[in-house]
Amino acid sequence: MKILPVLALLLLASARLNAAPATPTPEVTQFLTDGQAAFNKGDYATAKGAFEMVYQLDPRNISAINYLQKIKVLEKGVPKGVDQEKQLAGLIVPKVQLKDATIGSVFDYLKTTANKISDGKVAVNFVLKLPDEAIKTQTITLSMNNAPFTEVVKYVAELANLNVQYQKFGVLVTPKAAAAPDATATAPTAPAPPQ
């Protein structure tokens, strides 16, 4: 009766395959955390790389699989050959009335406005690489009518002293670098040589 031990081994193997997933390793957990943070910031390329690493380490990880599917859908939503700046330039903002609005609220408003005026067809992600202090306290005032979305963003950036860079999945917003002082204007004059 050698069939009985073989049957027991098969049942044991089947139970292991159907068992609840094991606790993820610290490496998997870190990749998941990094991927979720990047996804929430709109940095889908970084998020995709992190979730692909999780998938390689743990092919049955439901979180990684779900996020990779979401990213795939988002990538399909971006028309080939049309970059984000061109899409946004085609949107006309009927009216902008901002008075002492914080930088954070301005970019939230712009994100909502793009979605609203495109009837949900164009989504924009702003990635703000700015100090929290600037996002929460720096304010601007702007009034415009019937302006292309990209022009509104340009004026917001100029008023707040920011750089804007359009990328595949988002708009990167960074502080402008401080201009180097003019060397000729600040150079001290040398004393006249003694005679």
What DSSP string describes 93-147? EEEEEEEEEEHHHHHHHHHHHHHHHTTTS----EEE-S-HHHHHH-EEEEEEEEE
A 10 A CB-CB count for 67 gives 24
First-to-last C-alpha distance (Å) of the chain: 119
Nearest to 31, CA basis, from 64, 68, 66: 64
> What is the CATH number assigned to the segment(s) 84-175?
3.55.50.30
What was the pLDDT predicted at 82?
47
The reported pTM is 0.51
What was the pLDDT predicted at 71?
87
Q: Where are the domains of the chain?
A: 22-77, 84-175
Report the distance separating Cα 61 and Cα 28, nearest Å: 9
What was the pLDDT predicted at 45?
83
Q: Determine how β-strand 162-166 pairs with β-strand 139-148.
A: unpaired
Looking at residue 91, what DSSP letter applies? -
What was the pLDDT predicted at 2?
56
pLDDT in tens, the chain (195 residues): 455 555 555 555 555 545 445 688 899 999 999 999 988 887 888 889 999 999 999 999 999 999 999 888 887 765 544 477 888 888 899 999 999 999 999 999 999 999 899 888 888 889 999 999 989 999 999 999 999 999 999 999 999 999 999 887 788 999 987 544 444 444 444 455 555
For 15-22, the CB contacts below 8 A with 24+ separation are 21/58, 21/60, 21/61, 21/62
What was the pLDDT predicted at 186?
46
Beta bridge partners of 93: 147
What was the pLDDT predicted at 185?
44
* Tokens found for residue 96: 């902008």
Residue 173 CA, distance from chain mean position: 10
What was the pLDDT predicted at 11?
56
